[in-house]
Amino acid sequence: MTIKKKLSLAFGLLFFIIGGIIVLNQIVAKQAKDRYETIHDEIQPAIKVIDKYIQINKTLKDLLEDKIDENKGVNSTLNNKITAILEVEIPNINRTLKGVINEESQLIDVEWVLTNSNKAVKSSEMVIKTLVNKMDYADPVKLKKIKKLYRVEIKKTINLINRRLYHSTEEYKQVNFELNQELNNSFSQISIIILGFGMVGILIGLFFANQTIRSIISPINELKKSAAIVGDGNYSHTTIIEGKDEISELGNSFNIMTDSLRESFEIIQEQKEIQEESNYIKSSKNTLYEMLKGELSTSQIAKRTLEFLLEFYKAPMGSVHSITSDDHLVCEAVFAYDKKKEEMPLIPIGQGVIGAAVLNKKTVIIDDVPNEYSTINTTLGGLKAKCIVVIPVEFANECIAVIELACLNKPDEFSLSFIHEIKESIGISINAAQGLKQLEETYEKLEASSQDLALKNKELEQFVYITSHDLQEPLRTITSYSNILEEDYADVLDEDALKYVSFLQKASDRLRNQIHSLLELSRIGGMKEKEKVNFNTIFENLQTELDFLIKEKKGSLITPSFVVESIMGTSTEIQLLFQNLIVNGFKYNNNETPQVEISYMNNGTHLSFCVTDNGTGIKEKYYEKIFQIFQRLDKGEGSGIGLAHCKKIVESHNGKIWVDSEFGKGTSFFVDLKV
Ligand code: ADP
């Protein structure tokens, strides 16, 4: 039964009992009220009036006694008193008696009393009228007759009435007593009802309250205990609360809550374990990464990896082999084995467990270790390995090494899965070490050939210089003799011969220019002292030096008004660089008003110059070619060395030069110079 129903029942019962008490009280109280009204309205007035009647009769009897006495009878006051009783008091008390006594009353016969009273009154009036003065008393007959009347009739009647009245009054008193008794009984009944039923009600109430409280408190205590148990971490605890009330529902909800708490706890626990495992893996990985950091050789990496894995797997013995270019396994590191790594034999790929692991690229776990497998020697004897783990290490899907661990126990799943986490890193490190080794070898070779190249270059430059220098001498001879021919034999030589001499002179001039340029080129990038290059001075010089050319071409040269920045370099070379570009801009230009403009911007790391002209332009396919020595795109008087010269100057200043052009419209040369 639910608590609500229990409480409703208890209160219902309580109200029923209180209602019963009220109804019973009403009944008893009504009876008591009736009795009280009877006593108060009938009995007590009757007793009172009867008592008074008896009293009046007695007084009348006494007064009449005096009246018939010849010594006391002649007294007007006595007469008045008797008259008052007879005329006022007795009629009054008769009226009252009639009014007070119920006609149906069995206790007194009112009619009888009134009749006899009238009789007594009339006789008494006779006495008063007969005995008026002394003479009447002096008459013995009269007196005797009156005395007889009094004694035989009046006194007798009054006594009779009084006896009846007295009897009635006694009966009334008896009724009064009984009614009072009943009234008291009613009050007792009311008290008993209130007390008795009240007590029963209270007891029933207490019983139900006790039952209800117990039905609430004991499951709550049970719940309290369960909450403490669950609070202590025992999430598998189940609370049992019998019944089908709200508390048992609360118990069910508590169990559901405990279940979900347990589930949550288990999830948290799982996550914690996963987190711990992942932290452990992370920290182990970090340890390994730290160990493999830096420029290490393959055998150093193999040694450190082996140390790490032996510690991680608590394995006492192990080795690491790498794969040679001729498909053999060579030992890079070995631990606790009775041979040094240098003494270990080369194993062909595919042979033995580790050779097979290379081909299969799969981790091999051998539980059933053969007897002939090496014993791990200690100072006290030899230990037998229980499990052998062979791990192939790959890089870019190629097996590059094999690790072998001899364990005293079979590693658990978690430890085995860990190897897959780090295999790749070990592979990368070994590959990097092998790559580094190759790189070092290549670098050594490169260094040797670059030294060789530098030597050859130097020789070449010297050769160019010497050749150019040496060529000048025969050239000077050719020029001198052609001049002599032109000047001294002009008369002797015919027109054709003179034309050939002039060709000879022009060719000599061109050759001189080329030799001069070659000499300049061979000098660039030499051991010249670097200085702060002032571009403003360079552009001013160029404006002055090229003024004749510009005017001759009827063109214009626009240079930056002010260059704040400068670079470290050779000013003469930089000037020559811009001079070549400007001269080309005018040279390869058919425009009526040829124009060359130099602009620049600072890129932070470089000063970027742009030399733009409105000349013939260059086809894209020649963008590379024009920077090569002796490469020319037309048959003009150029030497084909200018742009090669420019390129060499820019590169010796750690810069870059390139071209962009729109054929037929103009060309832009871009020069980046390192700030
Ligand atoms: P040169 O001018 O002595 O022939 P360069 O090395 O200076 O030698 O130039 C190589 C070739 O590039 C030139 O023959 C020319 O055809 C082309 N060239 C160079 N500069 C320009 C330019 N500004 N406009 C068009 N063509 C150019």
pLDDT digit string, tens, across residues 664-675: 999 999 999 988
Dihedral sign of CA atoms 180, 186, 191, 192 in order: positive
Element (H, E) at 264: helix 246-291
CB of 588 closer than 6 angstroms to any ligand 1 atom: yes
Cβ neighbors of 555 (< 8 A, separation 6 or more) are 586, 589, 591, 593, 594, 595, 596
CA of 269 to the centre of ligand 1 (A): 79
CA of 519 to the centre of ligand 1 (A): 19
Return the ligand 1 atom nearest residue 615 CA.
24
CB of 581 closer than 6 angstroms to any ligand 1 atom: no
Which range, 14-28, 71-85, 203-217, 600-614, has the best average confidence (pLDDT)? Answer: 600-614
649-659 pLDDT, tens digit each: 999 898 999 99
Token pair 């930089």: residue? 574
313-340 pLDDT, tens digit each: 888 889 999 998 888 999 999 997 878 8
| Burial zone of 583 (CB within 10 Å; 0-12 exposed, 13-18 middle, 19+ buried) | middle
pTM for this prediction: 0.40
Question: Rounded mean pLDDT of 242-271?
Answer: 84
Token pair 């590169």: residue? 651
The residue whose CB lies within 8 Å of the most ligand 1 atoms, and thus the one to mutate among 616, 620, 643, is 643
Residue closest to 630 by CA, chosen among 619, 641, 618, 642? 641
More confident residue, 454 or 319: 319
Which range, 315-324, 407-416, 430-439, has the best average confidence (pLDDT)? Answer: 315-324
CA of 667 to the centre of ligand 1 (A): 11
| Burial zone of 638 (CB within 10 Å; 0-12 exposed, 13-18 middle, 19+ buried) | buried
- Count CA atoms closer than 13 A to 239's CA, side-chain side: 28
**pLDDT(103) > 80:** no
Torsion of CA 438, 444, 450, 451, to 10 degrees: -170
Kind of pairing between the strands at 381-384 and 375-378: antiparallel
pLDDT at 508: 86
Question: Rounded mean pLDDT of 350-370?
Answer: 85
CA of 509 to the centre of ligand 1 (A): 19
Return the ligand 1 atom nearest residue 640 CA.
8
Nearest protein Cα to ligand 1, atom 14: 632
CB of 618 closer than 6 angstroms to any ligand 1 atom: yes
The one-letter amino acid at 120: A
**Distances, alpha carbon 342 to alpha carbons 19, 273, 361, 406, 545, in Å:** 112, 43, 25, 20, 74
**pLDDT(386) > 70:** yes
Counts for the chain of helices (H) and strands (E), in that order: 18, 15
CB 310 within 8 A of CB 411: no
SS3 116: helix
**Distances, alpha carbon 218 to alpha carbons 206, 215, 240, 243, 250, in Å:** 17, 6, 11, 12, 13
CB of 668 closer than 6 angstroms to any ligand 1 atom: no
SS3 323: strand
CB of 666 closer than 6 angstroms to any ligand 1 atom: no
How far is it, in rounded angstroms, from Cα 496 to Cα 281? 96
Nearest protein Cα to ligand 1, atom 23: 585
Cβ neighbors of 540 (< 8 A, separation 6 or more) are none
Nearest protein Cα to ligand 1, atom 21: 584
Nearest protein Cα to ligand 1, atom 8: 640
CB atoms within 10 A of CB 309: 23
SS3 556: strand
| Neighbour order of strands in the sheet with 595-602 | 556-558, 595-602, 606-613, 666-674, 656-662
CB of 124 closer than 6 angstroms to any ligand 1 atom: no
The proportion of the chain whose per-residue pLDDT surpasses 70, expressed as a percent, equals 97
The proportion of the chain whose per-residue pLDDT surpasses 90, expressed as a percent, equals 33
CA of 627 to the centre of ligand 1 (A): 9
* pLDDT band at 624; cut points 50, 70, 90: very high
CA of 584 to the centre of ligand 1 (A): 6
How far is it, in rounded angstroms, from Cα 340 to Cα 610? 67
Return the ligand 1 atom nearest residue 633 CA.
16
* pLDDT band at 438; cut points 50, 70, 90: confident
Q: How far apart are the first and last CA of the chain?
A: 96
Question: Rounded mean pLDDT of 390-404?
Answer: 90
| Burial zone of 134 (CB within 10 Å; 0-12 exposed, 13-18 middle, 19+ buried) | exposed
Return the ligand 1 atom nearest residue 644 CA.
6
CB of 583 closer than 6 angstroms to any ligand 1 atom: no
* pLDDT band at 62; cut points 50, 70, 90: very high
CB of 640 closer than 6 angstroms to any ligand 1 atom: yes
**pLDDT(172) > 90:** no
CB 402 within 8 A of CB 320: yes
pLDDT at 637: 67
CB 146 within 8 A of CB 130: yes
CA of 606 to the centre of ligand 1 (A): 25
CB of 639 closer than 6 angstroms to any ligand 1 atom: yes
pLDDT at 376: 66
* pLDDT band at 208; cut points 50, 70, 90: confident
How far is it, in rounded angstroms, from Cα 336 to Cα 405? 11
pLDDT at 377: 66
How far is it, in rounded angstroms, from Cα 303 to Cα 624? 52
CA of 568 to the centre of ligand 1 (A): 28
What are the two backbone dihedrals, phi and then psi, of residue 73, each rounded to the nearest 5 degrees? -65, -30
Question: Rounded mean pLDDT of 424-446?
Answer: 85
pLDDT at 536: 96
Element (H, E) at 56: helix 44-67
* Range from 56-60, 356-360, 457-461, 574-578 carrying the lowest mean pLDDT: 457-461
How far is it, in rounded angstroms, from Cα 1 to Cα 248? 11
More confident residue, 98 or 472: 98
CB 645 within 8 A of CB 652: no
Nearest protein Cα to ligand 1, atom 16: 633
More confident residue, 481 or 611: 611
Nearest protein Cα to ligand 1, atom 13: 632
What are the two backbone dihedrals, phi and then psi, of residue 412, each rounded to the nearest 5 degrees? -75, 175
SS3 655: coil
How far is it, in rounded angstroms, from Cα 411 to Cα 420? 14
More confident residue, 162 or 242: 162
**pLDDT(218) > 90:** no
pLDDT at 379: 63
CB atoms within 10 A of CB 593: 10
SS3 622: helix
**pLDDT(380) > 70:** no
**pLDDT(312) > 70:** yes
Q: Which residues pair with 533 in a beta bridge?
A: 567
Return the ligand 1 atom nearest residue 622 CA.
12
Residue closest to 610 by CA, chosen among 660, 645, 654? 660
Cβ neighbors of 301 (< 8 A, separation 6 or more) are 292, 332, 426, 429, 430, 433
